Amino acid sequence: MMHKDAFDAGLATEAPAWEWLGKLARCFPVNHHEPGGYCLLDTSTFDLRRAFEEDPQRVQRFSQTLTDASERPLLHADFSKSHLDERVMQALLQLAEEQRVLALRDAMFEGGAINTTEQRQVMHWLLRAPTQDGLPAPLQDVWREMDAVRSAFLAFAETVRANPAITDVVNIGIGGSDLGPRMAVQALDAFVLPGKRFHFVSNVDGHELKAVLRQVQPRRTLFIIASKTFTTLETMTNAATALQWFREAEGGALADQVQDHFVGITTNLEAAAQLGIRTTFGFWDWVGGRYSVWSAIGLSLAIAIGAEQFRAFLEGAHAVDRHFQTAATEQNLPLRMGLIDVWRSSFLGHAARCMAPYHSGLQALPAYLQQLEMESNGKGVSRDGEHLRYLTAPTVWGEPGTNGQHAFFQLLHQGPHVLPVEFIAVKQIDHAWPLHHRLLLANALAQAQALMVGREDEDPQRCCPGNRPSTFLLLEALTPRTLGALLALYEHRVFVAGAVWNINSFDQFGVELGKQLAEDIVPRLESGDVRGLDPSTADLLQRLR
């Protein structure tokens, strides 16, 4: 039954806890906007080094290990190096109650249309449910339909895996139809079937497609065209070019074999058929693009790691779903981490967060999280259309360690403003060189330590102020199960932050404007017509012709 108060939250600034948090923030270093620039306003009394000295239980208080139903560890989160104390945490939990975060959570898991601007349900979590047990009655038919599609695309994945004639799989999609599968296939390289290579094409820039087609042979390649509507400009342009390349290969000898080498992930069966694509797998409007790796959009991942491991990927995420649904607020990890994200952005002025995964397999994770967080919560109006007076989603950026240390960590240690860092490390290795891993982990630990402790020096050029916040996420191993848990944790903390800010985290109208303007400019590049364009765009268009 829908929680009637799920949509009753107003602007966060109207919540009593918001005012109290604003007062508490005066005790912490705050990034501050001034007419002359953006700087650290440090009139605070809070210092991480002193916080650990004064509270021997701080690590235990602000860290948590997440396990599944069998008590197997999924991940460990240590946010004790964050700029917060117990008063702040309790006030944030009170803010969550006042903003009805858990009521909105319950509405989501009950199948409510919480995407209010598009009147859609938000049920990517259903894609992870292994059975229909415990689901609300209205969702059980939906689950059965979903499970049929899941079983079908996983069975198809197994046939491709068993076919030695297919050596290359090319996924053509963009946004959520690319970022999730690309990131996951790369992250789970240790589980990828030997003898098959996986390629991803997203950019409409023809150089990317050319580089992939140069590496593959038509007879030995399966193309996955991933677009819900089969109208996405970039995807369909790349698909048309790939089809043309395939049909013209070997003097046209393969022209009648499109159905054996192209598969569509779409609900537009008619458009797929017009291209000669007969094998298709659909998904639903209650699955947002950035939440779709769990669906048939993850077909490339399923081919790479197999149906059993793909189900383990879903299992890890489902365990986090269950935790988010059932854990007490004081021990609800997605809730706590989402609230800390609100605290950092809206109260401490942290307009950016650096992602530092210390595992090369996670090098695409920052890009994946950019879409998840900034497309979801990069909003300036509330669900009710009121303009917000507080910062929402931070800019998410980063590179794998140790590369980032030799690039932008200088700014993190000595810049004039505070930028929180999120470290991700993996305990177990998939290679035979333990020295490499000890050096990698030592650097991750040392960088988090250095940000906090800093360094005093008579030479101000060498002085590092310290007291810089970070979070540390630790996986026992990088497996389908733990990766699924990690991604679900991020999804739910983004949900929590959006619920507190009273924004709709599940639309993306800001993405559409540029697309619409591009449709107008395409013919102008051919004709040279600049009527109605602003002077800068008109001049640039002429220079590009």
234-267 pLDDT, tens digit each: 999 999 999 999 999 999 999 999 999 999 999 8
Q: Which of 56-65, 165-174, 184-193, 226-235 has the lowest mean pLDDT?
A: 226-235
Is residue 186 in some structural domain?
A: yes
**One domain, residues 517 and 488:** no
Q: What b/e string do you get for 410-425 counting C-beta neighbours within 10 Å, with b at 16 or more?
A: eebbbeebbbbbbbbb
Residue 38 has pLDDT above 80, yes or no: no
Does residue 36 register a pLDDT over 80?
A: no
Whether 142 and 216 map to the same domain: the answer is: yes
Are residue 359 and residue 409 in the same domain, yes or no? yes
Q: Is 88 helix (H, G, I), strand (E, B) or coil?
A: helix
Q: What are phi and psi of 20, to 5 degrees?
A: -65, -40
Q: Quick one: pLDDT at residue 5?
A: 62
What's the pLDDT band for 494 if we cut at 50, 70, 90?
A: very high
| Known active-site residue 207 | no
Question: d(Cα 218, Cα 153) in Å, to the nearest integer?
Answer: 22
CA-based max dimension of the chain: 77
pTM of the model: 0.96
| 343 within some domain | yes
Query: 334 and 264: one domain?
Result: no
Domain range holding 188? 133-307
Residue 159 and residue 245 in one domain: yes
Q: Is residue 17 part of a domain?
A: yes
* Same-domain pairing of 262 and 359: no
- Residue 124 inside a domain? The answer is no
Residue 515 known to be catalytic: yes
Regarding whether 168 and 45 lie in a shared domain, the answer is no
461 and 439 together in one domain:
yes
pLDDT, one tens digit per residue, over 383-439 is: 999 999 999 999 999 999 999 999 999 999 999 889 999 999 999 999 999 999 999
Set 23, 210, 406, 427: catalytic member: 406
Whether residue 65 lies inside any domain: the answer is yes
In a domain, 115, yes or no: no
CA distances from 404 to 367, 397, 510, 511 (A): 15, 11, 30, 29
pLDDT at 4 over 80: no
**Mean pLDDT, rounded, for 86-105:** 98
Q: How many domains does the chain have?
A: 3
Q: Strand order in 221-226's β-sheet?
A: 197-201, 168-172, 221-226, 262-265, 279-281
Model pLDDT, residue 452: 97
Band of pLDDT at residue 473, cut at 50, 70 and 90: very high
- Specify the residue for token string 């854990």: 327
| Whether 303 and 338 share a structural domain | no
What's the average model confidence in pLDDT over 124-133?
97
Tell me the chain's radius of gyration from C-alpha atoms. 24
User: How many of the other CB atoms lie within 10 Å of CB of 219?
Assistant: 16
Q: In which band, very low, low, confident or very high, does the pLDDT at 70 lie, cut at 50, 70 and 90?
A: confident
Q: Is residue 539 located within the same domain as residue 487? A: no
Residue 200, pLDDT > 90, answer yes
The one catalytic residue in 110, 234, 375, 422 is: 375
Using N-to-C axis directions, what is the helix angle for 233-248 and 206-213, rounded to 10°? 40
Say whether 100 sits in a helix, a strand or coil.
coil
The answer to whether the bond into 402 is cis (omega within 30° of 0) is: yes
CATH number for the domain including 259?
A: 3.40.50.10490
- What's the DSSP call for residue 117? T
User: Residue 37 has what pLDDT?
Assistant: 59
Average pLDDT, the chain: 95
CB distance 288 to 124 below 8 Å: yes
Instruction: Report whether 429 contacts 478 (CB < 8 A).
Output: no
Share above pLDDT 70 across residues of the chain, in percent, rounded to a whole number: 96
Confidence of residue 3 (pLDDT cuts 50, 70, 90): low
Residue 302 φ/ψ region, left for φ over 0, alpha for ψ in the -120 to 50 degree band, beta for the rest: alpha
What residue ranges in 267-312 does DSSP mark as E strands? 279-281
Q: pLDDT at position 44, please?
A: 73
> Average pLDDT in the 362-379 region?
98
Alpha-carbon gap, residue 125 to 151, rounded angstroms: 17
Whether residue 33 has pLDDT greater than 90: no
CA dihedral 33, 35, 36, 41 (to 10 degrees): -30
Question: Span 450-458, mean pLDDT?
Answer: 96
Last-in-domain residue among 279, 307, 335: 307
Q: Residue 32's pLDDT is what?
A: 76
| Pair (147, 244) in one structural domain | yes
4 is catalytic: no
Is position 205 within any domain? yes
116 inside domain: no
Domain closes at, from 307, 340, 358: 307
Q: Cα separation of 112 and 118, whole Å?
A: 12
Query: How much is the pLDDT for 40?
Result: 66
Under the banding of pLDDT at 50, 70 and 90, the label for residue 1 is: very low
Clarify whether residues 494 and 518 are in a common domain: no
Q: Which two tokens stand for residue 151?
A: 């079983």
Q: Dump the DSSP string for 258-318.
A: HHHHEEEESS-HHHHHHTT--EEE---TTS-GGG-TTTGGGHHHHHHH-HHHHHHHHHHHH
| Consecutive H or E run containing 265 | strand 262-265
